[in-house]
């Protein structure tokens, strides 16, 4: 009798554990799906929604369903990409294969990217301080800085226009800068969206 009770008790305990694990797993799958869907739906406000989804969906579990965290994540991704491109362009500008005109454009572009990095860093700092009575001032600063970063990136690509520029260098640089500009544009759209729902 005691053995039968123990066996029944053991079976019920195992069953409850299995049910608990299944529920936890289903909840986890559901929340992951919800987070990913939130990223996809939020990206519809951007100019480059496909890039928005691919760059932010890997951060869906961190973003969850927060427009603020999503805008913050978009800024951080843009900053990381701009940093990597600036480092690569500094290396490229030291290449012996470039003509003086190309070296000059490359250095100007690196300078513009330096401004972009500073503006993105300031924006990320202000995003962390968004609150209370100073909210509107901070938000206005962020929007201004990210817009300025976008202008700097566009100025950089202008330096590579013209037939005297090496075709390969021009295409390579423009592709990298356009990629950052698209990320910046998406970040700005997400910031503007967050600002509009916060008001």
Residue 46: closest CA among 27, 81, 71, 21: 71
137, part of any domain: yes
User: How many Cα atoms sit within 13 Å of 181 on the Cβ side?
Assistant: 17
96, part of any domain: yes
pLDDT for the residue 51: 95
| CATH number, domain containing residue 116 | 1.20.140.40
Compute the Cα dihedral for 46, 139, 61, 116 and give only its sign.
positive
126, part of any domain: yes
Q: How many helices (H) and strands (E) does the chain have?
A: 7, 0
Report the distance separating Cα 50 and Cα 33, nearest Å.
18
6, part of any domain: no
pLDDT for the residue 148: 94
Per-residue pLDDT of the chain (199 residues; tens, 9 = 90+): 555 545 555 555 554 455 445 444 444 444 557 888 999 999 999 999 999 999 999 988 888 888 999 999 999 999 999 999 988 888 887 877 777 777 788 888 889 999 999 999 999 999 888 877 788 888 999 999 999 999 988 888 877 776 666 677 778 888 898 999 999 999 999 999 998 886 4
Interhelix angle 49-56/167-198, rounded to 10 degrees, is: 80
Residue 174 lies in domain:
65-198
Q: Is 95 left (phi over 0), alpha (psi -120 to 50) or beta?
A: beta
CA 166 to chain centre: 31
1, part of any domain: no
51, part of any domain: no
57, part of any domain: no
What total number of domains does the chain contain? 1
């Amino acid at each position: 009798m005691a053995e039968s009770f123990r066996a029944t008790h053991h079976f019920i305990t195992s069953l409850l554990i299995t049910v608990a694990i299944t529920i936890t797993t289903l909840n986890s799958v559901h929340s992951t799906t919800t987070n990913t869907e939130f990223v996809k739906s939020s990206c519809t406000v951007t100019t480059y929604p496909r890039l928005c989804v691919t760059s932010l969906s890997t951060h869906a579990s961190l973003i969850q369903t927060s427009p603020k965290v999503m805008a913050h994540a978009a800024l951080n991704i843009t900053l990381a990409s701009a940093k990597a491109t600036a480092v690569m362009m500094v290396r490229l500008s030291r290449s012996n294969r470039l003509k003086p005109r190309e070296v000059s454009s490359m250095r100007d572009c690196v300078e513009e990217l330096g401004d972009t990095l500073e503006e993105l860093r300031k924006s990320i700092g202000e995003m962390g301080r968004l609150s209370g009575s100073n909210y509107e001032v901070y938000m206005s600063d962020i929007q201004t800085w990210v817009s300025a970063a976008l202008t700097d990136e566009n100025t950089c690509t202008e330096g590579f226009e013209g037939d005297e520029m090496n075709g390969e260098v021009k295409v390579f640089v423009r592709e990298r800068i356009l990629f950052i500009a698209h990320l910046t544009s998406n970040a700005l759209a997400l910031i503007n969206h967050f600002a509009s729902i916060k008001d």
